[in-house]
């Protein structure tokens, strides 16, 4: 069957992540290919489907894997879009690999299995080092975000000192300021879903990029909190611990984003009231909304971040709330209409509870179970039947709303004693 597969003209090599992950013994998805010594027309004539807009990329007609013609790039303007690409049959594999970001991504595998490694990628894989291939790294600021994301994926890899110095120079030169919001969000979102997302932010802080991309987050480091609630003291450290806790809870992207945003207001607390942070919740809501607008964050992530920022303190304190106050909390969170989102908010709050020093990570978090049970009880009230009964008695809309509210409070109250005892 393999003999019936279309073959590209020229020489084809597997490149990039598939080579890297195979050497690491990690699973990998689709392979990316580079074709040397071919023209776009030859690829089309061989049955490959053109899909590249900025440079020649083709899909294999049967496997749908990507085949790119070997190419070089030349910087012509600031940012990551200012490039002139040359794809020609005379471009060598080594020239194509030279334009890649990291040495561990600049390896290729020939059809006979031979490893082509002109820039020391295998050496850096063994040494667990993230190192740029050439000075061309500095021409594309997206590479700072990509490297930070790889640091979050490969938790035992360090950044080569010369690469960190180069990234700091790029930030100082203003290259990061040219990044478009969509690309920043894309890389942050992917990094948040890696096994150690806190390392992404550590790298961005170290090179100075976080202060340019997310100054609201960057300013949290060095801001103290009350040691009785936060043995880790530092607010920035706390937020990173919360992220780690979210990973342990297998939280989805929206929850991890909410964890990142929930305490932004602490960065604007007046110094004379520290380490207390009175009213930081509403300041966090406003700051998270500003970040969401600037980075064009998806609606589900932005909305969950707003709920968690506003209500995480009340959710933590819910064991002491009355049935009436508990129901109001559910309603402020729009939990009756959006129960799935509320469940995610509770997951973020559990991560917030566990993301602290001392013995907090080992403590139970009964608040989550309590509020889920209270929500189920409130949802079990038959609002339609109550409305019909009140209407038959001559009641109007206000009376109906009051009766439904009272019934829901009663239902929630029935849940409180055993939950509070637990």
Least confident of 281-295, 320-334, 338-352, 396-410: 396-410
Q: Is the pLDDT of residue 79 over 60?
A: no
Q: What angle do CA 48, 51, 57 make, to 5 degrees?
A: 70
Per-residue pLDDT band for 54 (boundaries 50, 70, 90) equals low
pLDDT exceeds cutoff 80 at 53: no
* Average pLDDT estimate for 86-104: 91
Reported as a pLDDT band with limits 50, 70 and 90, residue 412 is very high
Q: The whole model's pTM is what? A: 0.90
What is residue 202's predicted lDDT score, i.e. its pLDDT? 98
Determine phi and psi for 298, rounding to 5 degrees.
-55, 150
Residue 230 sits at the vertex; the CA angle it makes with 224 and 236, to the nearest 5 degrees, is: 50
Asked whether the predicted pLDDT for residue 2 surpasses 50, the reply is no
Q: Are strands 57-59 and 49-50 parallel, antiparallel or unpaired?
A: antiparallel
What pLDDT shows up at residue 67?
93
For 109, the token pair is 């595998």
Return mean pLDDT, the chain.
Answer: 92
pLDDT at 204: 98
Mean predicted confidence (pLDDT) in 200-210: 98
pLDDT for position 141: 95
- Per-residue pLDDT, 334: 97
416 falls in which pLDDT band (50, 70, 90)? confident
pLDDT digits (tens, 9 = 90+) for 392-409: 888 788 999 999 999 999
Contact 201, 240 (CB under 8 A): yes
Q: Smallest Cα–Cα separation from 239: which of 215, 264, 209, 274?
A: 264
Q: In the predicted model, what is the mean pLDDT of residues 268-288?
A: 95
Structure tokens at 181: 């919001």
CA 371 to chain CA centroid, nearest Å: 27
Q: How confident is the model at residue 421 (pLDDT cuts 50, 70, 90)?
A: very low
Residues in the chain: 422
The pLDDT of residue 4 is 63
Averaged pLDDT, 192-204:
98
Q: Which of 105-114, 200-209, 303-312, 388-397 has the lowest mean pLDDT?
A: 388-397
Average pLDDT (284-303) is 98
Q: Are residues 204 and 213 in contact, defined by beta-carbon separation less than 8 angstroms? A: yes
Q: Tell me: the pLDDT tens digits for 341-379?
A: 999 999 999 999 999 998 888 899 999 999 999 999 999
Q: What is the mean pLDDT of residues 79-108?
A: 83
**Percent of the chain whose predicted confidence (pLDDT) is above 70:** 95
Residue 151's pLDDT band (cuts 50, 70, 90):
very high
Among 166-180, 184-198, 390-404, the least confident range:
390-404
Instruction: Reply yes or no on whether the pLDDT at 75 is more than 70.
Output: no
Tokens of 157: 């890899």
Average confidence (pLDDT) over 239-260: 98
Q: Does residue 276 or residue 87 have the better pLDDT?
A: 276
Query: Where do the H-state alpha helices sit in 70-155?
Result: 93-98, 121-127, 142-153
Inform me whether the pLDDT recorded for 28 exceeds 60.
yes
Rounded distance, CA 199 to CA 215, Å? 17
CA 189/CA 176 separation, integer angstroms: 17
């Amino acid at each position: 069957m393999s003999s019936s597969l279309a073959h590209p003209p020229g020489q084809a090599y597997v490149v990039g992540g598939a080579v890297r992950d195979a050497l690491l013994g990690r699973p990998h998805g689709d392979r990316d290919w580079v074709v040397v010594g071919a023209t776009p027309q030859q690829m089309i004539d061989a049955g490959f489907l053109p899909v590249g807009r900025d440079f020649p990329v083709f899909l294999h007609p049967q496997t749908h894997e990507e085949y790119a013609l070997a190419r070089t790039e030349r910087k012509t303007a600031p940012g990551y879009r200012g490039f002139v690409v040359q794809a020609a049959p005379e471009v060598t594999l080594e020239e194509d690999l030279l334009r890649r970001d990291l040495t561990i991504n600049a390896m290729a595998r020939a059809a006979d299995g031979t490893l082509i490694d002109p820039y020391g990628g295998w050496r850096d894989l063994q040494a667990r080092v993230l190192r740029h291939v050439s000075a061309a790294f500095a021409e594309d600021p997206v590479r700072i975000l990509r490297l930070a994301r790889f640091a979050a994926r490969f938790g035992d890899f360090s950044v080569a000192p010369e690469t960190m110095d180069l990234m700091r120079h790029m930030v100082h030169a203003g290259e990061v300021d040219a990044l478009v919001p969509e690309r920043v969000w894309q890389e942050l979102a992917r990094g948040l879903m890696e096994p150690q997302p806190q390392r992404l932010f550590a790298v961005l802080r170290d090179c100075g990029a976080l202060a340019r991309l997310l100054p609201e987050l960057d300013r949290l480091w060095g801001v103290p909190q009350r040691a009785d609630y936060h043995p880790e003291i530092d607010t920035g450290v706390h937020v990173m611990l919360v992220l780690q806790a979210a990973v342990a809870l297998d939280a989805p992207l929206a929850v991890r984003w909410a964890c990142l945003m929930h305490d932004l207001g602490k960065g604007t607390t007046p110094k004379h009231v520290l380490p207390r942070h009175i009213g930081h919740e509403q300041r966090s809501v406003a700051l998270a909304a500003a970040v969401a607008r600037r980075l064009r964050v998806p609606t589900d992530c932005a909305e969950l971040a707003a709920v968690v920022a506003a209500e995480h303190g009340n959710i933590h304190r819910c064991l002491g709330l009355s049935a009436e106050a508990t129901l109001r909390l559910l309603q402020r969170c729009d939990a009756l209409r959006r129960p799935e989102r509320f469940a995610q908010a509770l997951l973020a709050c559990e991560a917030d509870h566990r993301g602290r020093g001392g013995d907090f990570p080992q403590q139970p978090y009964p608040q989550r179970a309590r509020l889920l049970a209270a929500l189920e009880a409130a949802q079990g009230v038959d609002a339609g039947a109550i409305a019909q009964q009140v209407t038959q008695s001559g009641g109007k809309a206000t009376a109906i709303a009051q009766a439904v509210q009272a019934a829901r409070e009663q239902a929630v109250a029935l849940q409180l004693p055993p939950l509070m005892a637990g």
